[in-house]
Amino acid sequence: MVEWGKGSARQRLLIDAGLMDLHDRFPAGTYHGFLLTHFHVDHVDHVDHVQGLFHLRWGNPSPIPVWCPDDEQGCADLLKHPGCLRFLPEMNHGDVVNINGLRVTPLQLNHSRPTVGYLLEYGPKGIAYLTDTDGLPAQTLDFLNSVNQLDALILDCSFPPGHVGSNHGDIEAALKVYEKLQPKELIITHIGHELDCWLMENDIPDWMEIGREGMEV
């Protein structure tokens, strides 16, 4: 959840929509819209990045903007029957979108579907949210190197060192990104079971913080 502004001018966006009870958690009018990273749905337990939109679309609020990558094959039924959702597939790498004072820049990621992360800037602060991805493409590293030092980088890190062949990163890939970009804070997310076990048995590197439920940045 991304919040910016103060007092009555405070704004809110939700990144991805995997929760099935979004309509209960967030009453109509309490958030501005969604930033989707990609259109993956986990067919095993039916929660991932877009599943919550299937219920939400049949509500009757004002149209809810959903900024997303341009992926015509992604959850085609959602795109064909959006209901109250207004999909905006205009999130091209490096093109800034101003959402009520929040500067949002989509950044290309390494994944099995068209996927973007987001650089979020408000005033002097900058946070990058980059999941799901296996390391970062050169164009994304170059772009982030050209901006001011990041206050926080939230990065996909699903596996312990030495993992091969995946759409998600490991500790070694996260370290390479950290060394290249030198954010003030690097937070890993999308943590898998193998990495969870590895973290319990090894010292946590001093350059890394573990993302957790309810964490505020």
More confident residue, 29 or 11: 11
Name 33's Cβ contacts closer than 8 Å, sequence gap at least 6. Answer: 13, 14, 64, 65, 66, 67, 99
- Is residue 171 one of the residues assigned to a domain? yes
- Is residue 217 one of the residues assigned to a domain? no
Q: Give me the pLDDT at residue 123, please.
A: 93
Query: Can you give the pTM of this predicted structure?
Result: 0.91
Q: How many domains does the chain have?
A: 2
pLDDT in tens, 23-73: 889 888 899 999 999 886 654 444 478 888 888 898 887 899 999 988 776
Q: Give me the pLDDT at residue 41, please.
A: 61
pLDDT band at 3 (very low <50, low <70, confident <90, very high): very high
Q: Give me the pLDDT at residue 38, please.
A: 82
Quick one: 56 and 104 in the same domain? no
Quick one: 176 and 86 in the same domain? no
Do 105 and 116 touch, CB atoms closer than 8 A?
Answer: no
Domain end, chosen from 74, 90, 106, is at: 90
Q: Give me the pLDDT at residue 42, please.
A: 58
Quick one: 82 and 114 in the same domain? no
pLDDT in tens, 76-114: 788 888 999 999 988 899 999 999 999 999 999 998 788
Could you tell me the residue range of the domain that residue 15 belongs to?
1-90
Torsion of CA 111, 33, 82, 114, to 10 degrees: -10
Q: What CATH number did the domain enclosing 6 receive?
A: 3.60.15.10
Domain end, chosen from 50, 71, 90, is at: 90
Q: Give me the pLDDT at residue 40, please.
A: 64
Q: Give me the pLDDT at residue 46, please.
A: 40
Q: Which of 25, 32, 26 is nearest to 10 (CA)?
A: 32
Rounded CA separation 109/105 (Å): 13
Quick one: 74 and 109 in the same domain? no
Quick one: 53 and 102 in the same domain? no
Quick one: 119 and 18 in the same domain? no
Quick one: 172 and 205 in the same domain? yes
**Using a CB cutoff of 8 Å and minimum separation of 24, what contacts does 79-88 make?**
81/57, 82/57, 83/56, 83/57, 83/58, 83/59, 84/56, 84/57, 84/58, 84/59, 84/60, 85/53, 85/56, 85/57
Name 78's Cβ contacts closer than 8 Å, sequence gap at least 6. Answer: 39, 50, 53, 54, 57, 85, 87
pLDDT in tens, 159-199: 999 888 778 999 999 999 999 999 999 999 999 999 999 99
Quick one: 54 and 97 in the same domain? no
Quick one: 51 and 28 in the same domain? yes
- Is residue 165 one of the residues assigned to a domain? yes
